[in-house]
Amino acid sequence: MTTTILDGKRTAELTRNALLDTISQLTQSGHTPGLAVVLVGNDPASRVYVNSKVKACEQLGIYSQKWVLSAETTQTELLDLIHKLNEDPRIHGILVQSPPPSHIDETEVIRHIDPRKDVDGFHPVNVAKLVLDDPSGFVPCTPLGCMELLKTYGIPTVGKHAVVLGRSMIVGKPMASLLVGKESNATVTIAHSRTEGLEEVCRSADILVAAVGKPQLVKASFIKPGAVVIDVGINRVRDASSPRGYRLVGDVDFPNVQPLCSAITPVPGGVGPMTIAMLMSNTVKACRQISGC
């Protein structure tokens, strides 16, 4: 079986290129899209993610603000900044990098972001809009990127059985909502660590989305021949042969699963690049909606 590799780098580039004209038109009309990224603490991985988002803004001509706060920042101080950004007309999107230090109530922080600027799509108002198929809401960037990959490669979803392995609010639940929604019309099963007969459930999928954060959990025995596999996971595993001492793998055992699939995302280079591309897209959408353009 010939397997199509769903190239997230290429698809993300197509997405960014499609945004350039819109950003140019908005800027010429006096409405440059603006994104504020807030990092609390010094987590190295989070710093990398934040810097990559700021760099993406620079490449597209999106105005950006980067706020790096100490790990000792209080909940009140962080909420004060959020309120300031809510009122800043230059800012159309607000993102607080997850996870924050343990003393910060992340749920409370999300609830204080203006839903119109919640480009992460985590505010209860946007969660409700997703379930209601309201296109004015914002969808979390990773599942939105997964859907864009399916669309770009012309992979049909109508009437297909999709299994989403994972139930987080960041990926699993919004992914299931997108797949079952009016545009996709898939039949969706949500599976997780306590699902009985997990291997059999996954093997029933025409489209399998793996988002559990467990390295190479999904083996060849989980796959129906000809299935489409979207691997959201990105995990570090020890590798003495690598100069870094580790390598990146997904939640899917790629070498053994690939021959069974009609299409599959690689790790890295699959879903990851799409997440940032969708953040840029959500920021432009927020600018258009807030400015009425």
- 């079986």: which residue's tokens? 1
Contact between residue 48 and residue 55 where contact means Cβ atoms under 8 Å apart:
no
Compute the Cα dihedral for 191, 239, 101, 82 and give only its sign.
negative
Report the catalytic residues.
53, 97, 120
What amino acid is encoded at 165 in this protein? L
CB within 8 Å of 16: residues ≥ 6 apart: 56, 59, 60, 277, 280
CA contacts within 13 A on the Cβ side of 190: 14
Contact between residue 189 and residue 222 where contact means Cβ atoms under 8 Å apart:
no
Nearest Cα neighbor of 66 from 56, 77, 74, 76 is 56
Instruction: Tell me the two tokens of residue 38.
Output: 């807030």
Strand-pairing partners, residue 247, are 237
